[in-house]
Structure 1
Amino acid sequence: MSIRHPIIVVTGSSGAGTTTVKNTFVQIFRREGVRAAYIEGDAFHRHDREGMQVAIAEAEARGNPHFSHFSPEANLLDELGETFEEFAAKGTGRTRHYVHDEIEARAYGCPSGTFTPWRPFDPDVDVLFYEGLHGAVVTPTVDLAAYGDLKIGVVPVINLEWIQKLHRDRRHRGYSPEAVTDVILRRMPDYVRTITPQFAQTDINFQRVPTVDTSNPFVARTIPAASESLVVIRFRDASDIDFPYLLTMIHDSFMSRANSIVIPGGRLDIAMQLILTPMIQRLVESRRAA
């Protein structure tokens, strides 16, 4: 935790919707004049695409059929912890970009499936923003959750998460449904052991719950629309949350528990704006005062 150099973390599984939440933060940063350095979780994968295929084959030869990007061993989590620690202390650090496809390859000048060179953060930024799989992971060697000043979990119910991943990977990455299903099965042990425990560490969780049938996600033709969903927003510490204000501002919302509010899915953006803007303002004001 750092007053001078705060760190904001958005963490969630592949296909959970963390990029949507990141886009809301970008809007708030722009409106509030907040300068941010950004880390994409993929930047701290240990292997490029070809190297990961080799690592998976080697793991299978050793009797481990579940090695995946969810696995701590497949990522540079200690190095990510060092980056968080350096930023919290000095406001400096470095990152890179994983090139997912040919469109990004043309934009970054690197082949698809590889990394760009490491580069330092821009100088004199207000916050560090991480979005990815492991932002609040705790392992025997590193406690990433300890560094986040504001930690957000994005956790749709699992059938919806799978539907979103299936549609994204088929449409934007060219994978077959069978290939995506194999990835989901491969990742399941580390989903349980590594990804899920983070959501007990986060300050706020956004959980999207569809109100239509998603009982077989592998044959779903479409992703349930926002209007076909509810979002459960859980606060780890609700003492500073003005629930009456939120209930007034977010039409058709209601409280399900003392620390949780449920909103229509179509009002998620306004809810995030109302909830997150004052939190970001407090972080930045404390930094600038210090």
Structure 2
Amino acid sequence: MSINHPIIAITGSSGSGTSTVKNAFEHIFRRAQINPVVVEGDSFHRYNRIEMRTAMKKAEAGGDRTFSHFGPKSNLFEELENQFKTYGETGNGRMRYYLHNAEETALHNKRLNLNLKTGEFTPWENIPPGTDLLFYEGLHGAIVDAKSGVDVAKWVDLLVGVVPIVNLEWIQKIQRDTAERGYSAEAVVDTILRRMYDYVHYITPQFSRTHVNFQRVPVVDTSNPFIARDIPTLDESLVVIRFSRPKKINFPYLLNMIHGSFMSRPNTIVVPGGKMGFAMEIILTPIIDELLENKKKI
């Protein structure tokens, strides 16, 4: 953790709602005129898209049915920890981008004058000087791997978890992968099962290390996610927000500002799903302000 060069990390699996948090942070940064360096979790995957398919087939041929994007075999955990450590100490470091789609590929090819393909990485670049903080969004912002000794979480000043209940997460994945990526429902279920070992051992433990968790809970029936035809909307959901340091949170203020909210435990407030983005902004803004005020005092 660093006073001079704060690090904020959002951790959550794909489709969990991390994009909503990212939008909330963008609003906060713009209003406060904060200049962040944005680091994408996908840029620390070990393999590009084609390499990952090859590695997965090789693992399966060797009897490994648990090889996935969630675990250490397919990620650069050591490099991620070194990135956070270096930035916290110096404000410097290296970054790259994973090219998810044609739009991103065209943008970075033009910027770098290269001819990269979708599913590849850009070359490593130096973090630009003069940034106010590092903002990470991805799968492993609070990862700890006892086998390798990696502890990414200890370098982060503000850890935010975004985690829908698992049935909702599965519904979102099945709907997205079948509708947008052309996968069969059976293929998506197979991916869910293959990821389960890494999900249990590497993804879910992170949410015990976060400072704030946003957990979306539907109020409609999601008991069988494998036959669900629709993704529950935000208005069909509640968001359970848990704080690891509740003494610093002004709960009366939050309850007054967020209509329909209530407290379910001394460290937990529940808000309507439609208020999720607003709740994030009024909760996280004073925390970020404090990080930057501490930086100014040095």
The answer on 1:33 being equivalent to 2:33 is yes
Distance 2:291 2:180 in 1: 36
1:127 shift after superposition = 0.7
The answer on 1:107 being equivalent to 2:107 is yes
2:219 match: 211
1:61 shift after superposition = 2.6
User: Does structure 2 conserve the Cα–Cα contact (< 8 Å) formed by 1:214 and 1:220?
Assistant: yes
Structure 2 unmatched runs, 5+: 110-115
The answer on 1:248 being equivalent to 2:256 is yes
The answer on 1:134 being equivalent to 2:150 is no
1:139 shift after superposition = 0.8
1:201 match: 209
User: Does structure 2 conserve the Cα–Cα contact (< 8 Å) formed by 1:12 and 1:153?
Assistant: yes
Distance 1:183 1:176 in 2: 11
User: Does structure 2 conserve the Cα–Cα contact (< 8 Å) formed by 1:39 and 1:128?
Assistant: yes
Residues 1-290 of structure 1: pairs in structure 2 closer than 5 A: 1-109=1-109, 110-140=116-146, 141-290=149-298
Give the letter aligned to residue 134 of structure 2.
Answer: L
What is the count of residue pairs matched by the alignment? 290
TM-score, normalising length: structure 2: 0.94
Q: Provide, for residues 37-57 of structure 1, a one-character-per-residue CA deviation record: whole Å limited to 9, x for no partner.
A: 011110000001111112112
Q: Provide, for residues 48-74 of structure 1, a one-character-per-residue CA deviation record: whole Å limited to 9, x for no partner.
A: 111111211222233211101001121
User: Does structure 2 conserve the Cα–Cα contact (< 8 Å) formed by 1:15 and 1:162?
Assistant: no
Distance 1:184 1:54 in 2: 19
Structure 1 unmatched runs, 5+: none
Distance 1:287 1:60 in 2: 49
> What do you get for the CA RMSD once the two structures are aligned?
1.2
Give the letter aligned to residue 63 of structure 1.
Answer: G
Distance 1:230 1:18 in 2: 16
Distance 1:100 1:178 in 2: 23
1:100 shift after superposition = 1.7
17-26 vs 193-202, greater mean Cα deviation: 17-26
Q: Provide, for residues 183-241 of structure 1, a one-character-per-residue CA deviation record: whole Å limited to 9, x for no partner.
A: 11110110000000000000000000000011121222221111110000000110110
TM-score, normalising length: structure 1: 0.97
- Where 1:255 maps in the other structure, the secondary structure is strand
The 3 A distance-change label for structure 1 pair 221 and 77 is same
73-82 vs 57-66, greater mean Cα deviation: 57-66
What percentage of residue pairs aligned between the two structures are identical?
57
Distance 1:246 1:167 in 2: 34
